[in-house]
Homo-oligomer: A and B are copies of this chain.
Amino acid sequence: MAKLKKQPRPKAETPKGFRDYFGYELIQRQRLLNDISEVYQLYGFSALESSAVETVEALGKFLPDIDRPNEGVFAWEEDDTWLALRYDLTAPLARVYAQFRNDLPNPYRRYSMGPVWRNEKPGLGRYRQFYQCDADTVGSSNLAADVEICTLLCDALEAAGINRGDYIVKVNNRKILNGVMEVAGLLKPNDVDYKIHERGIVLRAIDKLDRLGVRNISELLGNGRKDDSGDFTKGANLSEEQIKIILSFVQSKGSTGAKTIGNLTDLVKGSAVGLVGVNELETILELNESQGYMSDRVYLDPSVVRGLGYYTGPVYEAELTFQVLDENGSKRSFGSVAGGGRYDDLIKRFTGQEVPATGISIGVDRIMAALAANDDQPTSPIGPVVVTVMDKSMLASYQNIASELRSAGIPAEVYMGNPKNFGNQLKYADKRNSPIAIIEGSEEVGKGVIQLKDLLLGSEIAKGATLEQWKSQPAQTEVLRDNLVAEVRKILNRDR
């Protein structure tokens, strides 16, 4: 350490786009993850935590012609191998399944939760590290597996505290998009590379429809678009006719599911893959309904395509429909909190053999934000009982008080700061949202009593009062030392 003193002081800052989580937020997240994983377990999914670090090769996100890893991941070179932080939990699952496929059950149904990292431009509420909570079925081509993902998603959202009616699971199928691409002349059935660049732009443009609206999307499909900041994004350079076909796809939602299916069928006429997609979509909706997940919870939305490149069939997106105020104070619906789909080719990259797979990823931070936005009166959690230090020589006695309370399951601590200024001790207790400060001096010991200062009551009384006034409030009781636990409980129970 000594040498470091001569250096300029380091900045006490998280790197750009990263953040820390404190106290109550973490307790709430753990509760949320427990609630969601309980549903996953009820559905028969078992836990997996893959390594946070993968080879760039295994993650499959790299530019083909240069040795710099792709933008979008945090990567570095180690002993001639490029390593990266995982950007989602799906790509690592594909690696895990390929690596352990001889030992894993088939199908392999797993859930995972944990942080993922993306090297993206950070923004308001957009961080470079965030939590996902996924469930996937690997090794099943059965559409029942996709249906199950939809019902699982509904059940998980409700377990997370999102009320029925406040969310909707939108379903679509990438094969229909492929059909539309064929009709628009952007895809040829036997040439996977044909116009792959343009199709990538179209996919990303449609995925932004919600945020940017139809007009901006047509610019992205055409010559390109300049955004508010002046940045220009190159377009797909489609013809008017092609743009019209793509736009009629994303706008093909009818007044009922059946009408939407009819519109889609018309749209992909002549494309084999497109018609397969429409059929799959119809089956998924029927099976959902047969299990009681009707169109008030799961419905068809042709504008949902999901941005990730690896989806091959059904895609899902959960949206929260209640209104929140945005940064400008205008109302908007909360938006997407989960997404997923079928990715039949991702494992094949490793094994050469086709392994169908489907799954969902819940954005934990998004759900946390939604719950917070919906919570009118967020209450601070009650802190520990604070045993104040009146007399430094009585430390052992104070520790015994704390220890007795802990044994009774009541969080408690002896004040560990400099005890000289008693006001600081009370300020500390206040900052911890401590329910009770315990005071014991030699006088109390002589009488076999202790003082309990009811801080929550005190702070109620003291709204607007100064610390001096507050200290004189009568919210302090003398109780028998022997009755410590019972008397503390009495106050705690009243405050609840």
Contacts and interface: CB of A to CB of B under 8 A. Distances in A.
Contact of A417 (B47, B76, B98, B139): B139
Contacts of A145: 416
A193 interface: yes
A244 interface: no
Interface string A9-50: 111111110111111001100000000000001111011111
A147 B192 CA distance: 67
B432 A10 contact: no
B78 A49 contact: no
B411 A64 contact: no
The quantity of this chain's copies bound in the complex is: 2
A395 B144 contact: yes
A115 B26 CA distance: 16
Interface stretch (A103-111, A265-273, A315-323, A452-460): A103-111
A311 to B, nearest CB: 9
B352 A9 contact: yes
A66 interface: no
B44 A384 contact: yes
Given A23-B46, A129-B53, A349-B9, A142 B416 contact: yes
A205 B253 CA distance: 72
A95 interface: yes
Interface stretch (A55-63, A298-306, A329-337, A369-377): A55-63
Contact of A52 (B55, B115, B396, B412): B115
Q: Interface centre among A11, A44, A74, by most B CB within 10 Å?
A: A44
A76 B79 contact: no
Nearest to A194: B2
Contact of A4 (B85, B137, B349): B349
Contact of A15 (B16, B78, B411): B78
Interface in A391-448: 395-396, 399-400, 402-403, 406, 409-414, 416-418, 428, 431-432
Nearest to A13: B99
A28 to B, nearest CB: 10
A287 B428 contact: no
A465 interface: no
Given A60-B4, A64-B3, A109-B413, A55 B139 contact: no
B48 A350 contact: no
A239 B231 CA distance: 67
A96 B13 CA distance: 8
B403 A291 contact: yes
Contacts of A1: 309-310, 345-346, 349
B310 A42 contact: no
A418 to B, nearest CB: 8
Contacts of A212: none
B15 A53 contact: yes
A12 B99 contact: yes
A416 to B, nearest CB: 4
A191 to B, nearest CB: 9
A290 interface: yes
A222 interface: no
A144 B416 contact: yes
B44 A12 contact: no
13 contacts: A1-B346, A2-B192, A14-B50, A15-B51, A16-B81, A20-B48, A41-B384, A107-B416, A142-B416, A144-B399, A144-B416, A147-B399, A287-B396
A-B pairs, top 10 by smallest CB distance, nearest first, are: A44-B413, A76-B76, A44-B384, A12-B98, A2-B192, A18-B51, A140-B416, A26-B47, A12-B99, A10-B57
Interface of A: 1-5, 7, 9-16, 18-23, 26-27, 41-44, 46-55, 57-58, 60, 64, 74-76, 78-79, 81, 83, 85, 95-96, 98-100, 105-107, 109, 115, 117, 119, 128-129, 137, 139-140, 142, 144-145, 147-148, 192-193, 196, 287, 290-291, 309-310, 345-346, 349-352, 383-384, 386, 395-396, 399-400, 402-403, 406, 409-414, 416-418, 428, 431-432
Given A4-B349, A10-B60, A27-B47, 14 more contacts: A7-B64, A14-B51, A20-B100, A22-B46, A22-B48, A44-B386, A44-B413, A53-B85, A53-B128, A105-B431, A139-B416, A140-B416, A140-B417, A290-B399
